[in-house]
Amino acid sequence: MATLMIERQKAQAHMEEAQRQLAALDRELERLNRERDQKHKRLIAKIEKTVETTFAQEDLLRIIHHAQRVRRTLGHFRQAMLEMHVRRIERLILEGFRHLLHKETLVQELTIDPRQCTIELRGA
């Protein structure tokens, strides 16, 4: 019986040691799980920041592209408006010039170069 008691005490001591080791391993597992969760949250935050940055860059590139297209379109529009107004001014000057000279056939054509703003008269 004494042997059984000693064996029981040894088994109980062994069991208590195993329980302490199990508790230590449980604590280590909890710590590792918390660490993993924190790293996962940081990773998610970095991914979200990267995605936001990428979207912001894409937005900027899209805006720059549209701005370039608008500039080109406005340049074409400006040129067309300039041509239209220069032709109108040419007609008005020619009519006024003919009216002042009282001769309809003396000056046949008047042209204005929109780039240099020079006027050229052509006669009969």
Nearest CA among 74, 90, 83 for reference residue 114: 83
Task: Judge whether residue 1 has pLDDT over 80.
Answer: no
pTM above 0.85, yes or no: no
Helix H, strand E, coil C: the string for 41-72 is HHHHHHHHHHHHHHHHHHHHHHHHHHHHHHHH
Q: Could you report the per-residue pLDDT of 7-16, keeping only the tens digit for each?
A: 888 889 999 9
β-strand partners of 111 = 120
Containing structural domain, residue 119 = 2-123
Rounded to whole angstroms, how far apart are CA atoms 88 and 112?
A: 10
**Local confidence band at 99 (pLDDT 50, 70, 90 cut-offs):** confident
124 pLDDT band, cuts 50/70/90, is low
State whether the Cα torsion 89-93-99-100 is positive or negative. positive
Tokens read off for 66? 């549209």
- What pLDDT was estimated at residue 71? 97
